[in-house]
Amino acid sequence: MRGFSGDGFFIVGVDIRPGVYRMPGPIAGRVAAYALLSSLADFAVSGNLVQTIFELIRSRNSGNIMDWALIFGPTTMVVGPGVKAVKTEGCMPWERLGDTLDAAIQAAEPPSTPLITGDGLFVVGIDIQPGVYRTPGPASDGGVHSYKLLSSASVHDTIDDQLVNGPATVTIGPGVKAFETSGFLPWQRIGDTLDAAIQAVEPPSTPLIAGEGLFVVGIDIQPGTYHANRPERKGGGFYFLLSSTNTNDIIDQGRVHGPADIYIGPGVKAVNLSGFRLLQRVDNPSSRPSGNPSAANWQPRPGWGTIRNYLEVPNDEGIGIDIVGKFIFDDGSPAEPLVWRNTAPRPEVQEYSRGVYADGHLTVKAPASLLLGAEEMFQNINSMEAAKRALVFMDHGDLYEFGWAWTPQYRLVKAALGLFD
């Protein structure tokens, strides 16, 4: 049995042998999928396979499905130990390549093409060479544009995966057995290693980073400080400074909601950007005054600050009270005196209250009572494990109104100048 026909339910040992199978892609106009099953009795896939897989994703109940994949191009499937049956749908005929993935790779003619074209799952040594590949970006404006580096032929054995709306570069290096891509223009091989790829190209001269994507220092962009205006998305702009093209190798990261300076310094090999339209390299970046050097991502916002030296005194005329203090701006601008005469007490205006001062008018955004409660909550967050702190960051990243900021280690620290004595 060298292979088997595209669609059907195939029992291992009866209809097909264990081993590695490759399929050139879906039947035209069909959505294709496969499922590897651990049993024959009461098997989960009794009807439309694609619908079953979507239900599996929603319910997170795999039943007797050991592995599955939706197929959009050429793909390779490993029918290994424990697999009792294979269910396929929408597939062209499968060809058996060998007993194991390593054996199939050794038996194959080494690939020579420098391109990865179209969607699909491409096995290193069978379909593609190892090395560094770059794509100019998505093939269309709509849809999902994603890629995965895999440690096997299963789309679930992920080393790195990313959704990208711009250019991207990947390193298919040691440990990577397969590469899955969807929605991109062709990937061009540009070198054996990232350093070799950087050395082989003309150094970039543009002072701009255009939009979203994964940009390599020395190929796409120069090092330096880049200024971004307000992000396009309501949720803010995200940046990740990386020590490689692997999006898990994060040196620093941040989310910003207003103008920001992002420093791409020594050790940064790539930058992953989302939510920005344009960044421009600047020779003299704006300062980021902060009361805490750990608050690396602190970006002062115009007019924001903290009330200090708050004092209530009896009025000379015996009517109401006088309130005095000063407003410490986050951006380091000269403090603004605060004076209210012949006024009633103002509970929202207290020591450490935060707000915006503009055109001679103060708007309190976070009263002191709120800040005192928030500080206790922030200390509780700092006592969590790093993974839990990261989840809090993703859910509640912007804490600017409190004058606190996240460190690269997902800890919360005071950052506003006015919070420090």
- Write the DSSP assignment of 17-42 as a string of letters: -SEEEEE--BPTT--EEEEEES-STT
Asked whether residue 51 is assigned to any structural domain, the reply reads yes
Say whether both 185 and 270 belong to one domain: no
Are 277 and 295 part of one and the same domain? no
- Same-domain check for residues 32 and 117: no
The answer to whether the CB of 85 falls within 8 A of the CB of 10 is: yes
Shared domain for 298 and 264, answered yes or no, is no
Whole-number pLDDT of residue 42:
46
pTM for this entry? 0.67
Domain boundary among 51, 71, 99: 99
Question: From the CB of residue 386, how many other CB atoms can be counted at a distance below 10 Å?
Answer: 10
The answer as to whether 310 is a domain residue is yes
Residues 292 and 411 in one domain: yes
Q: What's the confidence (pLDDT) of residue 258?
A: 80
Please report whether residue 227 resides in a domain: yes
Q: What is the extent of the structural domain holding 335?
A: 288-421
| Residue ranges with strand state E in 72-174 | 75-79, 85-89, 94-98, 115-116, 120-123, 131-135, 146-150, 158-163, 168-172
- Cα distance between residue 274 and residue 265, in whole Å: 19
User: Looking at 65, 99, 133, which one is the last position of a domain?
Assistant: 99
Task: Give yes or no: residues 40 and 81 share one domain.
Answer: yes
| Six-digit token string for 300 | 């002062």
Domain count, the chain: 4
Under 8 Å CB-to-CB from 60, ≥6 apart: which residues?
A: none
By CB atoms closer than 10 A (0-12, 13-18, 19+), residue 406 is buried
The answer as to whether 12 is a domain residue is yes
One domain for residues 191 and 242: no
Q: Are residues 196 and 272 in the same domain?
A: no
The C-alpha atoms of residue 416 and residue 100 are separated, in whole angstroms, by 59
Whether residues 53 and 119 fall in one domain: no
φ and ψ at 272, to 5 degrees? -105, 120
Q: Give the span between the Cα atoms of 290 and 281, in whole angstroms.
A: 22
Domain final residue, candidates 230, 262, 286: 286
pLDDT tens for each residue of the chain, 421 residues long: 578 987 888 999 999 999 999 999 999 888 899 999 998 864 545 567 767 766 665 656 567 888 989 899 999 999 999 999 999 999 999 999 999 999 999 999 999 999 999 999 999 999 999 999 999 999 987 777 899 999 999 999 999 999 998 999 999 999 999 999 999 999 999 999 999 999 999 889 889 998 899 999 999 999 988 988 878 777 788 899 999 999 999 988 888 888 888 889 888 999 999 988 889 888 654 444 555 555 555 678 889 999 999 988 887 666 778 889 999 998 888 899 998 888 888 888 889 999 999 988 999 999 988 887 888 888 888 888 877 787 787 776 678 889 888 876 778 888 888 887 6
19 and 89 share one domain:
yes
Based on the fold, state whether residues 80 and 170 are members of the same structural domain: no
Specify the DSSP element, H or E, that contains 363.
Answer: strand 361-366
Residue 104 within a domain: no
Domain shared by 246 and 305, yes or no = no
